[in-house]
Amino acid sequence: MRYGLTAAEARAHLWLVDEHGLGTLGDPHRPPPRPEQAPFWRALAPAWARQADGTTAPLAALVEHIRPSVLIGVSGQYGLFTPPVLRAVAAHHERPVIFALSNPDDHAECTALTAYASTDGRAIFASGGPSLPVPVLGGATGRAASAVPFHYDAAAARYPAQVNNAFIFPAVSRAVASGRVHQITDRMLLAGAEALAALVTAEDLAMGRVLPPIQALAQAIGAVAAALIDAASEDGPADPAPPKFEL
C-alpha cells in the first residue's frame, strides 16, 4: 500500500456535494447518481445532511460535520464558499486547503482575499484562473493577523497558484507526439500529477502557491510529458486486439 490506504479507507476520506446536496445513495430527497458518480456516493444518508423540510443542509453545516481538511470547489457557483463556510473549515485545521477552481473569476467559489481573511491567513489557497497577489500581514508562511487590501509588502504577499489544466493537457499532446503513447490511462495521469507536484519548490510554498508559477509553464510541461511517456511504457504496448465498432 504505497499511500497507506485501502480502497474503502480512501473513499471514507472523500465526500462529494452537488446541487442536490451530499452525494449519498438511498436518499429519497435526491435523484439517483449518474453512472460516473455512483462509485463515489456514500451508502448512508446522514441525518445532518438534510433540514427538517428535506432541503439540503447549508454547506457550512455539512462542513461542520465532515470537518474536511481539503475543500475543493468545482461548482461554477460564485461566492459559494462564504466566510462562515471557510471559518468552519479553518476551525478544525491549522492549515486548511481551499481550492476555489471555477472560472472565469465571476464564477469562482471565493476569492483569495476572502479565503485568507476568513482563515486568519492560514488557508493554503489556490484558484482556477489567475489570482492577484494578496498582501498579508504577519509573514508569508506564519499565522497572519489579518489580510488588508491597502497594505502592500511584496515579501509578505501570497501568490496563489493557478490550478489550471494548462499544466497537464499540453503535456498529453506532447507525450502522444513522441509516438510512444497510444492511450491515456489513469496511471499516466497519476505519474503526471506526481511529476508536476515535484516541481513545486519550498520557495513556491513559502509564497503561498502549490503549483509552479504560470511563467514556468513550458518547463513544467516538459517534465510532465516525460513522466507520462515513462508511465505509458510501464503500462506496456497498446492493446493488440483489433478495434471493435460498427461503421
Partner 1 sequence: MAAAGHSRHRPRQRVRLAATLGRVWVLLLATLALVVVANDPHEHWIRPLAAAVAAVDAALQDIHPDTTTPAAVEQLWAIVHAQPHSLAQYAALEAVQTANASLLDGLLRAHAERLLPVIYTPGVALACQYYGYLPRRTPVLVVPVGSDAAAVRMQLSGVPAADLRVVVLTDGERVLGLGDLGVWAAPIAVGKARLHALAGGAPLDAALPIVLDAGTDNVALRQHDLYAGLPAPRTRPVQDAGATADLYTATVRQLALALAERTPVPLLHVEDVGRGTGFRLLDVARAERWPLPVFNDDIQGTGAVVLAALLAAVPSTGRASLAELTVLIVGGGQAGIGIARVRRPFHCVLCEGSERQVLTVPPPLVPRELPLRPSRQR
Residues between 145 and 204 that touch partner 1 (CB under 8 A): 161, 163-174, 176-177, 179, 181-187, 189-190, 192-194, 196-197, 200, 204
Could you tell me the smallest distance in angstroms from the CB atom of residue 117 to partner 1? 19
CB atoms within 10 A of CB 101: 20
Judged by CB under 8 A, the stretch of 48-56, 58-66, 111-119, 148-156 that binds partner 1 is: 58-66
Render 26-55 in DSSP notation, one character per residue.
T-TTSPPPPTTTGGGSBSS--GGGB-TTSS
- Regarding 132 and contact with partner 1 (CB under 8 A), the answer is no
Could you tell me the smallest distance in angstroms from the CB atom of residue 167 to partner 1? 5
* End-to-end CA gap in the chain: 44
CA distance 6 to 3: 9
Minimum CB distance to partner 1 smaller for 53 or for 246 = 246
Cβ 135 vs Cβ 156: under 8 Å: yes
Quote the strand ranges of 89-211, DSSP E.
97-100, 124-127, 161-162
Instruction: Give the x-and-dash track for 8-47 against partner 1 (CB under 8 A).
Output: xxxxxxxxxxxx---x-x--------xxxxxxxxxx----
The residue type found at 48 is W
Instruction: Give the x-and-dash track for 215-244 against partner 1 (CB under 8 A).
Output: x-xx--xx--x---------xx--x-xxxx
Residues 59-88 that bind partner 1 (CB under 8 A): 59, 62-63, 66-78, 80-81
Minimum CB distance to partner 1 smaller for 32 or for 149 = 32
Could you tell me the smallest distance in angstroms from the CB atom of residue 81 to partner 1? 8
Answer left, alpha or beta for residue 238, where phi above 0 means left and psi between -120 and 50 means alpha.
beta
Greatest alpha-carbon pair distance for the chain in Å reads: 65
Could you tell me the smallest distance in angstroms from the CB atom of residue 47 to partner 1? 17
